[in-house]
Chains A and B, each alone.
Chain A
Amino acid sequence: MSEYQPIHWSTSSYTRVPYAVYQHEDVLAQEQKKIYEGNTWSYLCLDSEIPEAGDFKTGHVGNAPVVVVRDDDGEIYAFENRCSHRGALICLDRAGKTRDFQCVYHAWTYDRQGNLKGVAFEAGLNGAGGMPENFCKEDHSPRKLRVAVFCGLVFVSFSDEVDAIEDYLGPEICARIERVLHKPVEVIGRFTQVLPNNWKLYFENVKDSYHASLLHLFFTTFKLNRLSQRGAVIVSESGGHHVSYSMVDAPDQAAGNQYQDQGLRSDQDGYRLADPSLLQGFKEFEDGITLQILSVFPGFVLQQIQNCLAIRQVLPQGVTSTDLHWTYLGYASDTPAQREVRLKQANLIGPAGFVSMEDGAVGGFVQRGIAAAGDLEAVIEMGGESTSSSPSRVTEASVRGFWKAYRQLMQA
């Protein structure tokens, strides 16, 4: 691999982003070290997906394969899914239940805390071969990760220095996660969307409250979300996490007219649902918030769109490919009628979602658009230079916040 060429940032504000940052292998390699294995927490799974001793899931922190598993003490442990012998994957399954883990290659075994416990033929056979006497299994375990569970979300980190999860998130983000995950959830479906773009383009898109009512016509037409609705953007102190939310209230005619006055595509008027029950949910949040999109740096998203709840995990698969893992949720306490509403509203989200399918493609439009523009920059100036919370969603403060957190880690 070529020598890492640091990306040149033309300004100390976060209003310009060089397109080269989406284009290079060496940037991705640095991101693995400084972001994914740096002072960050990565979402891995739900606590409830591994409820019993021995239950495990495998996943990734950036491109690092990881096992998360519950041991007999009830605690969750995480370790790199890499045999300390030759580096093969220790666990090939995506989920399951096990007493211990055994690498298929030479049958080295690991306990549920990732400790090397057995080396096949360690003492040789018939007095010949075997490992040297001074080989110490305790010194040869795959890298272990810290584990933190917050509101049933399992986060892991390679870093010994990263803040405790509550401090990492900050009080406002914690409160907004608790608002959704205040009672036990159940997984109702899992899908993976393969995005033809760099991971950052998707994560920026999540944070970009400016585009929502302009790109996603479905939302706007049915008054699910338009910028003239009441709402706000919260950006964490680090810049890396955000919440955008809105609530439907009395129509603001003056603001609504701005869509018409500017001739914006989002305000086509003639479109009506043959089955309006799609948008007729039930009230389950006392605060009246009908839409909350929350992101945690570097790759976690929690969404509430009406009664439609989901987690999205953003994982790079190369410079120009990103896996977006969707986990659709209901509450364990759902009545059959409530569950049906969630299934119906799930048409809004995912790879075929009425309000999310465009997000699967728009990052690719950027990736293709910038192909010859690595020396040029994106303009991220809506709402000025601020990276702080805003009562207006006509701002890119949370996108700039992402770059603030990103640059801090990458320049460390």
Chain B
Amino acid sequence: MSTLSLRERIADFHAAYIRCIDQNALEQWPEFFEEQCHYTVTTAENDRAGLAAGLMWANNRNMLHDRVSALRHANIYERQSYRHILGLPFITGTTPEQVEVETPFMVVRIMHDGKTDLFVCGIYRDVFLLNHSDILKLKRRSVICDSNRIDTLLAVPL
């Protein structure tokens, strides 16, 4: 049984997740998810309207690996990095098996020439499975962007 509180485990998860992306360790990014998982990036407007399509849409971890290999080997985009800043997680529901959490985020995008802009803000709507490990994994992450406008392109995942 974990010695950490649920809140501490969620905080540790979030810290490790954004560190992974912001340090460009994208090959490790899929490991934050269960093998059977859902990952979508959408907008608040689509979410409210019940429209299911995403900017990114995956229903298993292999699709996340494919995202990364496409970024590494296929897609053309200017070198850029993110800085994620997260707000406090709000636990919206718990059962013995899983916990549902909403966490606000802001992502600053830093282009290779130094241009630095607020790129996206929104919430992570997460479902974590509770098992016997201290390490949480995502069963589902819906990245819900507040704005429906994306500047230029969305290459690196959120």
Contacts and interface: CB of A to CB of B under 8 A. Distances in A.
Interface of A: 187-196, 215, 217-218, 221, 268, 270-271, 273-275, 278, 323, 328, 339-340, 342-344, 346-347, 350-352, 354, 357-358, 360-362, 364
B154 A189 contact: no
A273 B45 CA distance: 31
A271 B51 CA distance: 32
A350 B51 CA distance: 15
A360 B152 contact: yes
Nearest to A193: B150
Contacts of A339: 52
B77 A343 contact: no
A221 B70 CA distance: 11
Nearest to A360: B153
Interface string B133-155: 00000000000000011111111
B57 A357 contact: no
B131 interface: no
Contacts of A346: 53-54, 57
Given A189-B42, A271-B74, A358-B77, A194 B149 contact: yes
B101 interface: no
A187 B45 CA distance: 13
Nearest to B155: A357
Contacts of B148: 190-192
Given A189-B51, A275-B66, A358 B152 contact: no
Nearest to B150: A351
A342 B57 CA distance: 10
Contacts, number: 118
Nearest to B70: A354
B51 A343 contact: no
B97 interface: no
Residue of A196, A218, A342, A351 ringed by the most chain B CB atoms within 10 A: A351
The 4 closest A-B pairs by CB, nearest first: A189-B53, A275-B62, A274-B62, A360-B153
B52 A361 contact: no
A357 B153 contact: yes
A280 B55 CA distance: 19
B75 A358 contact: yes
A160 B18 CA distance: 56
Given A192-B148, A346-B54, 4 more contacts: A191-B150, A193-B150, A221-B74, A351-B153
A343 B54 contact: yes
A215 B77 CA distance: 11
B76 interface: yes
Contacts of B81: none
B73 interface: yes
B65 interface: yes
Interface in B105-151: 148-151
